Amino acid sequence: MKKLFILLFSALVVLSACKHEKVYNQIVKDPKTGEDILIGYVNVEGLKGDIFKDAYIKGLSEYMPNDSTVQECKKLMNGVSYRIIMGTWCSDSQEEVPRFFQVLYTADVDVLNPEIMEIICVNSNKEAGDAKIKKYNIEKVPTFIIYRNGKEIGRIIERFADRPEIDLLEILKKQ
């Protein structure tokens, strides 16, 4: 009986730990197009994978941020984190997400750190699989949400008004 109790307790602990573990870089078929897309939580390695790789590499190689503006941003990035809601199927995401990452790379932001960067991919119905995004009130993708010390300080929705580093700087100036 004691062994059974220990076995059941151990199984319960393992299952509860798995419940909170994020699964990254899931590939599914988009319900509207039937094309392979990334869904739910994604990391930079997922963006470099086959589905988004061409857009990611092209965007990084073609965009050169203004270094002095990036350096101004860098001075204001203490305690800043980012959440990007995007669609690998979306032409705006394909264009804007790599440009934003180029700014962050230029500013030496550790985009591999999940405490600093969270990426959530949606399908064409704006559903994100296991990732719950309703609380973010997403209407268009990509949506870049910028936080300082866990509090939202601004958003960039769909397209940059100017250049990514200029739009980001305007948000980071908010104290």
Q: Is residue 102 part of a domain?
A: yes
Residue type at 73 in one-letter notation: C
- Evaluate whether residue 3 is within a structural domain: no
Q: What is the pLDDT of residues 99-115, one digit of tens each?
A: 999 999 999 999 999 99
Domain ranges, residue 167: 22-172
DSSP string, 72-126: HHHHT-TTEEEEEEE-TT-HHHHHHHHHHHHHHHHTT--TT-TTTEEEEE--TTS
- For residue 157, the model assigns a pLDDT of 98
Q: What is the pLDDT of residue 21?
A: 82
pLDDT digits (tens, 9 = 90+) for 27-70: 999 988 899 999 999 999 999 999 999 999 999 999 999 999 99
Instruction: Give the CATH number for residue 38.
Output: 3.40.30.10
115 assigned to some structural domain? yes
49 to each of 31, 40, 41, 164, how far by Cα in Å?
A: 21, 15, 14, 23
Structure tokens at 110: 């550790």
144-175 pLDDT, tens per residue?
Answer: 999 999 999 999 999 999 999 999 999 999 86
pTM of the model: 0.87
User: Does a structural domain hold residue 87?
Assistant: yes
The radius of gyration of the chain's CA atoms, rounded to the nearest angstrom, is 18
Distance CA 9, CA 23 (A): 24
Question: Domain for residue 17, yes or no?
Answer: no
Inform me whether the pLDDT recorded for 126 exceeds 70.
yes
Per the structure, how many domains does the chain have? 1
Report if residue 7 sits inside a domain: no
